[in-house]
Structure formats: structure tokens, C-alpha cells
Amino acid sequence: MPDQTAPSLLFVGGAANATLAVDVVATAVAQARKRGLRIHMTNQEETFAALPATTALADAASVVDFEKRGEHAAWAGERLAAGENFDIVFGVREMAQEAVAEAAEAFGRPGNPPHVVNRVRNKDAARAALSAAGFLQPACQVFADAASALEFLKNSTGPWVVKPRDAMGSEGVTRLDEPAQLEAALKLMPHQGAFIVEEFVEGPEYSVEGVFIGGAPHMLAVTSKELLPPPHFFEVEYLIPAPMPEETEREIVEQVTAALHALEVRFGQFHVELWVTERGVVMGEVHVRNAGGWIHRMLAHVIPGLEWFGLVFDDVLGLPIDKAALVPSRGAAIRFLTPTPGRLLAIEGWEEVLAHPAVLYAELAVAVGDVIHPYESVEHRVATIAVGADTAIEARDLLDKLEASVRFVTEPVEPAAVSAGVAEHA
């Protein structure tokens, strides 16, 4: 029986039905328990049913649909009328962040205002706000249909990027080098409706991981990214901390800090994407949540003792936070392996990877007989290896050796045999 006098956490949106999402929520819940928090979790009914073990991590659970605008605010009103409130309102899922903001506002708790979250989640609105504030931004335009976008493409100079307004995980994001490629790109969209066409930005891509402490952004680390060649934006490697000159890192931190203030973001975790170009730092997408891609585990190695989710709880509870200790002292790297697409006949060397003492996390998402899909988004990741070392470069060198030790044997299949998921089971 939980202590009813202990501070309480409303965990909006719970977990998605995916290995990474479940691990993120389990980590966040463990850090909440360490602080003595009672936990009430909301989620969609079908996800609760699919994840009974994750649901059981909470003291109480309510079916509330985070995808329906206003639903969490209405639920909060009912709870308040019944005499119940929460000390902290928090969530980790991208698609639940507007619901997190609604609930925090309704309960009168710290959080990002709903209109701020809505703006950063709509990529074109965030681009417009950053551009108006003087930040370098790729030219960007929203289109309702292919005909109007095609006319724009024919009268402008590429390359371009086509993307949904509010998806995640690089889903539906495609580079176009000529207008004729638009039709195929739109077929990859996760849903119908308005979409964005924007200028392709030349330059290495990074992200900044951080947390707000006392309303001010604190940068934990800069992450470097490696991607497969276009047309898709499939990320295959992260290094933390990103190897770069100090002046470049300083410029990135300054730009991200200023951008978060300009967008009026003020609470919780953040994951901000950007490019370093000849013109300077070009801001990418801003997320008011933790990063994906197992970065939460990498950061815990890079900054010994770090509890990224716990910092949010400590901030609300007024507990002391030693910001001087929140700096990287080690390195980590992750590789998302990309074996040749086709039917998987055999996997060799994976057990040796699992047994390596430097491995922070390793996951194999395919089995013999599956059909490996061509790589278009994070949904198509088939194998993951994350390692920790004294430096990010040493971690990357170790990944090279581990990846070379694993052998995937595949055979070609007819295009019709490849499903739209990670793999098609035989």
C-alpha cells in the first residue's frame, strides 16, 4: 500500500508498445520510486492491455487518450472536483507532450504551456518562430496536396526534404533531388494530410540533450549523428559527447539556449536537433522530452550517477541539484546495424556481443526467417549495440570491432514480400 502522504507523480501517456519505450518508462519510474513518489499512470486502453508489466509499475492507472486534445484537461477537472491533485505531471512520449502540458496546467503544476508544446511539435510553426527570432532556418513551406507542392518544386532549386508536420523517428522524411520523386515520397507518409517541404541543409547533424533546472536549460551533452546516404534519414550511429572543437560546442550550446528561450520552453527534459554549417548553427527540431535511440542509457554512462528523469522530479520537489557534477567524464557510442535487406538465413557472432563487458545495451529485433526491410525510419532498426568507454572515440572503435564480429546471412526476396514494418515474419 503506497504512502498516501508521499508526493505524487502523474505519468501521462505511460509507455508505447516498444522495447525502447518500455525501458524508458521503467527507468523513469525507478527514479521516481527512489524519491518516494506515488505514481498514477494514464494511457490508451489498448496499450495498457498490451503492457501489463509496465502498467503494474504504477500505483494506479486510468484510461485517458493522450491523442485526443482536451481529454487530459477534462480528466484533471474531474480529479480536482473529487479532491485529488498531483505534485508532478510528466511524460516521455512525443505524441503525449501536449496532453502533459494540458494536465500540468489544469492541476496548476510546473510545465510547459500547451500553446508552446503545440508550436514546437508542429515543425512549420517552430521554424517560423525561430526564423522570426533571428535563428538560421531552412526555407520551409506547408502544402495540403501534391499538386501545389509539385508546382513549388518545379519553380525552386533543390535538393529538398519532405516530412510530416508532427511525426517522429524520421518516419516519412525523404530527400528529393528532383520533383519527380515527390509522389514516391508522399507514399511513405505515416498519415494523410498537410506535409512540409523544406530546404535540405548541408552539414553534420547533432543533437543536444538537457534538462531545465529552476526554469533555465542545462545542457548535459552534445550527441553526434551518422546517417545512411539519402534519400531517407536513417540514423546509424551516435557518439556522446560529440567529438568537436570547444568553440563549436560553445556556439551550439549558446544557440540552443537562446532557441529554447525564444520558443518559451521552460520545463522538463529537452532534445534539440541541429546542423553545423558554413553559415553557422542551423536549428532543427525541438523536442520537450528525452531523446530516443537509447541515449538515456548512454548518458548514464557518460555522466556517472546521472538520473535524467530524476532531475526533473528533483527540480519540482525543490531537492538540491549539483549542476557542477552534470558534465560528461566518459564516452559512449551506439550503432544501429544495417545488414543487407532480404530474408534472414542466419546470424553469427551475436552471443559474443552480448557477453562483452563494455556493452551497455544490445538488442536483436529479427530472427532467422524474417524479411529485413530497406532502411527508411527508426521502425526499421534490426540490431542495436551500445557501448561505454573512457572516450567516445574509444567507444566507436570498439563498435567497429563488435559489428565486424557479427555476420547476417540474407537472400534477396521479391519486393512484394517485404512488409512496411521492421521485418516480415515467415
Dump pLDDT digits (tens) for 188-208. 887 778 898 988 999 999 999
What is the per-residue pLDDT for 156? 82
In a domain, 119, yes or no: no
20 and 102 share one domain: yes
The list of the chain residues with pLDDT below 70 reads: 1-2, 167-170, 416-426
What are the strands of the beta sheet with 88-90, ordered from one edge? 60-63, 38-43, 8-11, 88-90
Domain annotation covers residue 131: no
Domain of residue 295, residue span = 205-329
Question: How many Å apart are CA 44 and CA 27, to the nearest integer?
Answer: 20
C-alpha cell at 233: 534519414
Choose the final residue of a domain: 297, 329, 361.
Answer: 329
* Whole-number Cα distances in Å, 200 to 15, 230, 275, 290, 305: 33, 11, 11, 25, 39
- The per-residue pLDDT for 169 is 56
Q: Are residues 195 and 219 in the same domain?
A: no
Phi/psi-derived region of residue 153, left when phi > 0, alpha when psi is between -120 and 50, beta in every other case: alpha
For residue 167, the tally of other CB atoms under 10 A from its CB is: 19
Q: How far apart are the first and last CA of the chain?
A: 46
133 part of a folded domain? no
Q: How far is CA 365 from the centre of its chain?
A: 19
Q: Is residue 114 part of a domain?
A: no
CATH number at residue 160: 3.30.1490.20
State the DSSP code for 407: E
From 311, 329, 347, the end of a domain falls on 329
264 found inside a domain: yes
Q: Within a domain: residue 130?
A: no
pLDDT value of residue 207: 98
190 and 211 part of one domain: no
- Say yes or no: 145 and 66 in one domain: no
Residue 418's pLDDT is 56
The reply to whether 128 falls in a domain is no
Beta bridge pairs of residue 273: 207
Instruction: Report DSSP letters for 9-52, one per residue.
Output: EEETT---SSHHHHHHHHHHHHHHHHTT-EEEEEE-HHHHHH-H
Residues 351 and 317 in one domain: no
Does residue 118 sit within a domain? no
Do 225 and 321 lie in one domain? The reply is yes
Q: Residue 300: its pLDDT value, please?
A: 98
Nearest CA to 337 out of 387, 385, 291 is that of 385
Number of structural domains (the chain) is 4
pLDDT for 288: 98
Bridge-based pairing of strands 195-199 and 160-164 is antiparallel
> Do 220 and 325 sit in the same domain of this protein?
yes
Burial of 218: CB neighbours in 10 Å, binned 0-12, 13-18, 19+: middle
Mapped onto helix, strand or coil, the DSSP state of residue 153 is helix
Helices (DSSP H) in 225-306: which residue ranges? 246-262, 295-302
178 and 227 in a common domain: no
Q: Which of 329, 359, 393 is the last residue of a domain?
A: 329
The per-residue pLDDT for 391 is 98
Per residue in 32-85, pLDDT tens? Answer: 999 999 999 999 999 999 999 999 999 999 999 999 999 999 999 999 999 999
pTM score: 0.90
